[in-house]
Amino acid sequence: MGRIKNYINGKWTESKSKETFRSINPANKEEVIGIVSRSGREDVDEAVKAAREAYEGWRLTPAPRRGEILFRAAEILLKNKGALGSMVTREMGKVLSEGLGDVQEAIDMGYYMAGEGRRLSGETVPSELANKDMKSVRVPIGVFGLITPWNFPVAIPSWKIFPALICGNTVVFKPSSDTSGCAAKFVEALVGAGLPKGVLNLIHGPGGEIGEYLVSHPGVDAISFTGSSDTGKRLEAICGAIHRIIVTEMGGKNAIIVMDDANLDLAVEGGIWGGFGTTGQRCTATSRIVVHKRVYRTFTEKFKAAASHLRLGDGLQKETDVGPIINESQFKKILKYIDVGKKEGAKLILGGKVYPKGNCSKGYFIEPTIFSEVTPEMRIAQEEIFGPVVSLIRAEDLRDAIRIVNGISYGLSSAIYTQDVNSSAIAERDLESGIVYINASTIGAEIQLPFGGIKHSGYGRKEAGGRGGALDTYSRWKVIYRDFSGKLQKAQIDK
């Protein structure tokens, strides 16, 4: 890509400091994707100012017209899906089919939110008084600061930017430094669709420096953040102190329950996809599998055998099943957790090592790793690892399995494999997570329903979806009472 610049007030521009950093391919550290402008506080100030100045005109642009721009952006993404999907794979590392899926999710969200431009519905309800009507309408919040992670470098920005724009907000977008190139390409689609200057602004740089400054900036009205729990809690504290709206999507320690009546082959497939898809680098990844004691040994053997056939390598190669870890710090963190699991007494039955074979020696590759005989209180069963590490835990029965799944500080996604309708009903009622899957893995949410967790997995409103999700996140309700009686009427008093 060459230079990856900021986009502020309708112009692609270098940072004020002229400082840069590199975006690299995690499958091959020698390949530089691009040289990225490193923003500072002055760049944030300029971006916020541009968004503030553009807000009034964008707010007053009819929502159907805003929707037409989003529709055109989705069309541009569709036209360039192949190239952008490859870019996702090169910069983030996920295999090409997942890179293309990442882009497709953004396309879907673009079309979906474009349609909301002709809905954005509120309510009209009857009054108890004559000659009076009442309604609620959605109105924008203002300038949104949007901070996104590296694991879905096109999809997650689309979850935030498309609904923010359709609701009439303007945006300052701060993506992960690891995937700056994908962020720039996504913004290019909206620019190409005719988005007015200042409505969407892009700044690159370290979250600890400019991300926190953006969150506390006096010109910003609200924040949406997706990333680690530690960072999210710190940002929540900042916003709480200044009475600012914030929505956070954070970590998970997601689990699949496998009952003794489950289709074990199907459950194994779900565990492999959930545990090792995207190299385990999803907030909804399957980090734990809680297996009924009657089928624990059989499931363990089948799961180990299936995982042992996974092929590591560059995600652009057709034969690759599992790509690299995103960067060196995450690479070291995962290896540290594998060592923790060993010291805790869990039984390492597969993987657990750096994968140095062939071209993988140039990237951040760790073997798919499975621990058996894990107990619920172990750190590897409690803390988010965010890598290709799965813990197998034995359960006595359904009640015990649900207790184990719920016994953590997170509550994002959970799943159960069973052929008993009563067991599935109990699980969907009692599992403490924002998302529950029946006979499917912990990953695979669709954009037309809200996405998000409870407990330490998230705070505030949800992503995606319509009512109850993104529209409620990126707009606020205004209630309007109109009295056309020509006299003073007192609700709850007049007869």
One digit per residue, pLDDT tens: the chain, 495 residues? 689 999 999 999 999 999 999 999 999 999 999 999 999 999 999 999 999 999 999 999 999 999 999 999 999 999 999 999 999 999 999 999 999 999 999 999 999 999 999 999 999 999 999 999 999 999 999 999 999 999 999 999 999 999 999 999 999 999 999 999 999 999 999 999 999 999 999 999 999 899 999 999 999 999 999 999 999 999 999 999 999 999 999 999 999 999 999 999 999 999 999 999 999 999 999 999 999 999 999 999 999 999 999 999 999 999 999 999 999 999 999 999 999 999 999 999 999 999 988 889 999 999 999 999 999 999 999 999 999 999 999 999 999 999 999 999 999 999 999 999 999 999 999 999 999 999 999 999 999 999 999 999 999 999 998 778 999 999 999 999 999 999 999 988 866
Collapsed DSSP state (helix, strand, coil) of residue 344? helix
Distinct helix (H) and strand (E) counts, the chain: 14, 23
* Helix pair 398-406, 421-430: axis angle to 10 deg: 20
Known active-site residue 249: yes
Do residues 252 and 232 touch, judged by C-beta distance below 8 A?
no
- Given 236, 249, 384, 463, the catalytic residue: 249
Token duo for residue 423? 């067991």
147: β partners: 174, 225
Rounded alpha-carbon distances, angstroms, from residue 480 to 123, 465, 477: 10, 25, 10
Distance between CA 251 and CA 296 in Å, rounded? 27
Strand locations in 273-358 (E) = 286-292, 347-350
440: β partners: none
Do residues 192 and 73 touch, judged by C-beta distance below 8 A?
yes
The CA-based diameter of the chain, rounded to the nearest angstrom, is 85
Rounded alpha-carbon distances, angstroms, from residue 250 to 49, 410, 456: 28, 9, 7
pTM for the model: 0.96
226: β partners: 249
258: β partners: 291, 417
Rounded alpha-carbon distances, angstroms, from residue 26 to 2, 320, 397, 440: 17, 14, 42, 30
Same fold, 2-250+457-480 and 254-438: no
Known active-site residue 167: no
Do residues 187 and 158 touch, judged by C-beta distance below 8 A?
no
- Helices assigned H by DSSP within 412-461: 421-430
Using CB atoms within 10 Å of the CB of residue 225, give its burial: 0 to 12 exposed, 13 to 18 middle, 19+ buried: buried
Using CB atoms within 10 Å of the CB of residue 425, give its burial: 0 to 12 exposed, 13 to 18 middle, 19+ buried: exposed
Distance between CA 293 and CA 298 in Å, rounded? 10
Indicate the CATH number for domain 254-438. 3.40.309.10
Q: For strands 28-37 and 2-4, give the pairing.
A: parallel
- Given 283, 367, 384, 463, the catalytic residue: 283
Query: Which contiguous run of DSSP H or E holds residue 178?
Result: none
Domain boundaries, the chain: 2-250+457-480, 254-438
Distance between CA 433 and CA 429 in Å, rounded? 10
* Strand-by-strand arrangement of the 28-37 sheet: 2-4, 28-37, 20-25
Do residues 91 and 149 touch, judged by C-beta distance below 8 A?
no
Distance between CA 352 and CA 415 in Å, rounded? 25
Do residues 180 and 34 touch, judged by C-beta distance below 8 A?
yes
Do residues 451 and 464 touch, judged by C-beta distance below 8 A?
yes
Collapsed DSSP state (helix, strand, coil) of residue 211? helix
Collapsed DSSP state (helix, strand, coil) of residue 495? coil
Neighbours of 117 (CB within 10 A): 22
Distance between CA 441 and CA 273 in Å, rounded? 7
Architecture in CATH for domain 2-250+457-480: 3-Layer(aba) Sandwich (3.40)
Token duo for residue 321? 């099943």
